[in-house]
Amino acid sequence: MISYSLTKNTMKPDTTEFIATIKQSRKTDLDRIIDYMVSEGTGLTRPQALAYFEKLMQTFEHFIEESGGISIPLFRIRLTIKGVFRNKGDSFDSERHKINIRIIPGPRLNNLKERLKLTKINSPKRTPNPESFIDAFSQTTNSMATQHGIATLKGDNLKFDPNDVRQGVFFIPEKEPKANIRVDFYSSIKTTETGFLIPALPSGKYTVVVQAIMKNHTSVRGGVLHPVITVY
């Protein structure tokens, strides 16, 4: 089931029009695709699936380089050149021209549209969404934190104002849920990635929370990293 929500059409602020936004319920990356390929009954091992997938990618690249495109039931790929040529004798110049790769749905994808089912949901509120906690010292992800070490949080909507004490990265002790230990030193603060120095934390388990004020809003919103982080 494909979820969608409606948001005000900001391109036409004087109308009552809304536009639909598709919400992907879960990110589908290479790992998830390979997991599906090796699911029970397929007879494929994970190394085999990875090898087949890589060979398929290399094959696509080969024929695109050789003939400028491919056409398979799933999609068609063709190359186009952007830019103006001065006259018939002019040639491609990387300073003035650019090669673009166009992907066009093939019959399989076009037929898939007829099978898609939609469900309408309320517009989700934008909140910080931390997904991965990477501890540089132990080189672990979503597992542990090293006191006074460097950590990186990855996700979405992670940007905040470090000068506002209400915003930032917080460690909440499992045994003292009302205690918020705020990170004081940041190496970078970006929408999808934030680097910081882990504060002095007593041994125990912690929930990591990112608090921020979203653009065009005034209230603080928090996002929780769902794996619990352990300090030894």
Domain-wise residue ranges, the chain: 2-120, 129-231
- On the question of pLDDT at 6 being above 90, the answer is no
Average pLDDT, the chain: 92
Residue 205 has pLDDT above 70, yes or no: yes
Whether the pLDDT of residue 216 is over 80: the answer is no
Fold for 129-231, please state it.
Coagulation Factor XIII; Chain A, domain 1 (2.70.50)
Of all residues in the chain, the percent with pLDDT exceeding 70 is 98
Average pLDDT over residues 30-48: 91
Sequence-distant (≥ 6) Cβ neighbours of residue 115 within 8 angstroms: none
Angle at 149 between CA 186 and CA 231, to 5 degrees: 115
Sign of the Cα pseudo-torsion (24, 122, 155, 145, in order): negative
- For residues 58 and 175, what is the distance between their CA atoms, to the nearest angstrom? 52
Asked whether residue 206 carries a pLDDT value surpassing 80, the answer given is yes
Q: Show the tokens assigned to 230.
A: 């352990």
Spatial CB neighbours of 38, under 8 Å, sequence gap ≥ 6? 44, 45, 46, 48, 49
DSSP code at position 192: S
How does residue 151 score in pLDDT terms, banded at 50, 70 and 90?
Answer: very high
Is 124's pLDDT higher than 70?
A: no
Mean pLDDT of 134-148: 95
The pLDDT assigned to 207 comes to 96
Q: What is the pLDDT of residue 27?
A: 76
pLDDT at residue 167, rounded to an integer: 97
Distances (CA, A) of 30 to 27, 111, 187, 221: 10, 24, 30, 31
* Average pLDDT over every residue of 159-169: 96
The class (CATH top level) of 2-120 is: few secondary structures
Would you say the CATH fold of 129-231 matches that of 2-120?
no
What's the mean pLDDT in 177-205?
Answer: 95
pLDDT of 122: 77
Query: Residue 22's closest CA among 36, 42, 43, 2?
Result: 2
pLDDT tens, position by position, 57-79 = 999 999 999 999 999 999 999 99
Q: At 137, which amino acid appears? A: F
The residues pairing with 222 across neighbouring beta strands, listed in sequence order, are 211
Banded pLDDT at 123 (limits 50, 70, 90): low
Could you tell me which of 2, 232, 4, 226 has the C-alpha nearest to residue 116? Answer: 2
Q: Positive or negative CA dihedral for 153, 157, 162, 168?
A: negative
